[in-house]
Chains A and B, each alone.
Chain A
Amino acid sequence: MASKVSVVLRPVKSIVVRFCPFEPNVESTRKFLQSIYHKKIQATNTNCEVTADVRHDGSEPVVDVKFADGDRLIMKGAHLTTGEMLTALASRCNAKDLKEEQKSKRKNP
């Protein structure tokens, strides 16, 4: 279930969720936005800026995640479920965390 996926937002710099609420394919993106605003996930990184960009141009829902090391993750939520988007974000965040830990271990053996 989407609510059981725990995401650690430490390596994330900003998340922009862009959607048009009058379109029928925005449910999963809106649920993703709702999950991201959960207090447990927000508590992992208070410096992460989460922005909701509401438009009315019939565009597809997009989640744009910018990481602290410059990487960018763009998820088109029209044909993705909330769980898939959260899992993708969580896996990338965990991978970056592991890399950071390994780097710090190499620097301070």
Chain B
Amino acid sequence: MAALGGGGTRWRRAWLPALQLLRRGSKAVTRHWKAMHLQRQKLLALTEFLPPRPPVPPRCRPRHATEEPRQEDGYARVLRRQAEECLRGSRMVAVCQFNSLPDEDVATLRHFLRKHNIHLKFILNEIIRPVLAQSELRSLLPLFVCRNVLLVSPEARAREMLRVLKGVPQVVLLGACIDGTILSRQGVENFARLPSLEVSQGQTVAALSLLSSQTSSLLQRGPAHLTALLDEHIRRLRDTGGATEPPPGRSSGNH
């Protein structure tokens, strides 16, 4: 009030009636609640801070029926191409469920499989699923649900693979595709018990030739039996003829 009252000269203070009121009114800062001036009330109401409403998160918005086609990631494209090459160039593809295994055990497993030319490949489900859907291995699609690993090989070494996997219970064989044939776990075990291709070919040839050799012996059996019977008969006649041999004179006299 002193600042307001003593701002100008004395004749200026008496000139402005608003300044006179300040003498008897209370100060701006009081210890009791003081009603706000109407103009101040209006100004504060006009300039009240309205915080901005937070935007609705996109997951709460209604989803459109047709989603826009997402642009394919370059890395995903590379992985997909690698998966396609891997499936195309391998004779045996085995799918196993991979449960957690220490790193050194994974390295050991990879080493033992590599000895038999079997490659261990970790694959993501979202990469392999579209690749399988477009190939003839779409029957293996239900296997790719949890964390999986592929065992691929250009040769069909099922016996060695099963022997290595027997020592690692954390890797569970689910199914395989060997030479274009989808096999379950039991199918792979049966396949492993089969003899090799050369041995089975030799067995087939032996079985076929056995039949033909039996045919020739069968055909010869009748005449051989007849020959034997005739020989026996002649021998018996000779024996009996020798026992009751006529005197040599009579036989010469007849001639």
| Chain A residues at the B interface, C-beta cutoff of 8 Å | 21-24, 26-27, 30-31, 33-34, 37-39, 50-52, 54-56
In the complex, chain B residues 13-35 whose Cβ is within 8 Å of any chain A Cβ: none
A56 to B99, CA, bound (A): 20
Q: Is the C-beta of B220 less than 8 angstroms from some C-beta in chain A?
A: no
Question: Are A27 and B184 touching (Cβ within 8 A)?
Answer: no
- Contact assessment for B142 and A24 in the assembled complex, using a CB-CB cutoff below 8 Å: yes
B175 touches A22 (CB 8 A): yes
Partner of B170, one of A30, A37, A56: A37
Complex: how many Å from CA A21 to CA B170? 16
CA distance A26 to B184 in the complex (A): 16
Q: A24–B145 Cα gap in the complex (Å)?
A: 9
Q: Which residue of chain A lies nearest to B143 when distances are taken between CB atoms in the complex? A: A21
A22 to B184, Cβ gap below 8 A? yes
**Counting CB contacts under 8 A, is B128 at the interface?**
no
Q: For window 34-54 of chain B, which residues contact chain A by CB distance below 8 Å?
A: none
Among A22, A23, A24, A34, the residue within 8 A (CB) of B99 is A34
Closest Cβ of chain B: how far from A39's Cβ, in Å? 6
Asked if B143 and A34 sit within 8 Å, CB to CB, the answer is no
Contacting A at CB under 8 A, from B168-186, are 169-170, 172-175, 184-186
Q: Which residues of B contact A31 (CB under 8 A)?
A: 146
The answer to whether B185 touches A38 (Cβ under 8 A) is no
Contact of B147 among A22, A34, A55 (CB under 8 A): A34
- Residues of chain A within 8 A (CB-CB) of B173 are 54
Bound Cα distance A24, B142 (Å): 6
